[in-house]
Amino acid sequence: MGFNKAQNIIGLRVLNDNVVWLWKKNKSLVVIDPSVHEPVIKYIDENNLNLKAILQTHHHSDHIGGTKYLIERWPNAKVIASAKEKKRIPFQNVSVEDGETLNLLGEKVEIIEVLGHTNSHIAFFINRKNPVLFIGDTLFSGGCGRIFEGTYQQMYSSLERIKSLPKNTLIYCAHEYTKANILWALNLKPKDQDIKNKLSEVEKKLSLNELTIPFLLDEEMKINLFLRAKNLEEFTFLRTNKDLWA
Ligand SMILES: [Zn+2]
C-alpha cells in the first residue's frame, strides 16, 4: 500500500499489477477504477468512511470489477464515467464530457477526454496548487496504454494534452508497469542517463515494497519515450515497437 499523506490519496495494489486509488477527505471517500471490491470495503469499514463516488476512467474489467459490489453496499454513491460510454460501466449514473467540471470532496475536478486506449477514456484532473491527475490506462510511468479502440493520432494527441498540464501535476495511473517499461526504454536508449537513473530509483522503491506511482509530469517528460516523441511518426514507431517487445 502506498500512502501519500499530503494528497490524502491511498493506493491499493490488487490483482497482478492494478492499483486502485482511494481519495479521502475527512470521513468521505472517492474511489478511482475499483477493479475489485474486497480490499476497498475493508479499508472503508476499518476507517469508518462513507463512499461518495466511483470515478471510472474506462470500461475495462480490471477497472470496473468492484463497482457493482460497492454500489450494492453504498447505493447512493455516484458512478461517474464518460457520456460516450454505451452501458459498459455498471450503475453509471453521472455522465460527463470533456471540459466539464465537477465538485468532489470540496474540490474542483475537471474532465479531460483522453482517447486512444478506448474510444471513451477520460481522466480526472484535480485543479489545485499541487494538481493531481487520475489517468487510468492512458499514461504509465515509462509507457503508455495500448491502442485498443482508438487511433495512434488520438493517443498521440491525448499525450500532448497531458504534457500541456502544469509540470508539477502528480499523475496516478492504474497499473504498476514501471519497471518493465523502463527496461524497454533502456533497450532502445541504452546510454540515456535519465532513464538509467529512473531504473535505479524504481528498483529501490520496489525492493522496499513501495509503489512507483504517483509520478511527477515534469520528471516523467524526461524519461518517458512516448512523451518525448517529437511527432506522430516517432510515436507510432515506439508504440508498435513496444507491442512487439517481450
Ligand atoms: Zn484498460
Q: SS3 for 57? A: coil
Backbone angles phi, psi at 176, to 5 degrees: -90, 80
User: How many whole angstroms from 26 Cα to the centroid of ligand 1?
Assistant: 30
Q: How far is the CA of 136 from the centre of ligand 1 (A)?
A: 7
Distance CA 213, CA 159 (A): 18
Residue range 29-58: mean pLDDT, rounded: 98
Which domains, from first to last, does the chain contain? 2-244 (3.60.15.10)
Give the Å distance between the CA of 191 and the centre of ligand 1.
Answer: 31
**Reported confidence tier of residue 1, pLDDT bands at 50, 70, 90:** very low
- Over residues 126-162, the pLDDT tens digits come to 998 999 999 999 999 999 999 999 999 999 999 999 9
Beta bridge partners of 103: 108
**112 contacts 125 by C-beta, under 8 angstroms:** yes
Ligand 1 mean position to 58 CA, how many Å? 7
pLDDT value at residue 86: 80
Residues 6+ apart with CB under 8 A from 41: 69, 70, 73
Q: What is the pTM of this model?
A: 0.96
Average the pLDDT over 89-94 and give the result: 96
Placement of cell 472517492 in the chain: 30
Across residues 77-105, what is the average pLDDT? 96
Q: What angle do CA 223, 159, 181 make, to 5 degrees?
A: 40
Q: Residues 55-83: pLDDT tens digits? A: 999 999 999 999 999 999 999 999 999 99
How many whole angstroms from 60 Cα to the centroid of ligand 1? 5
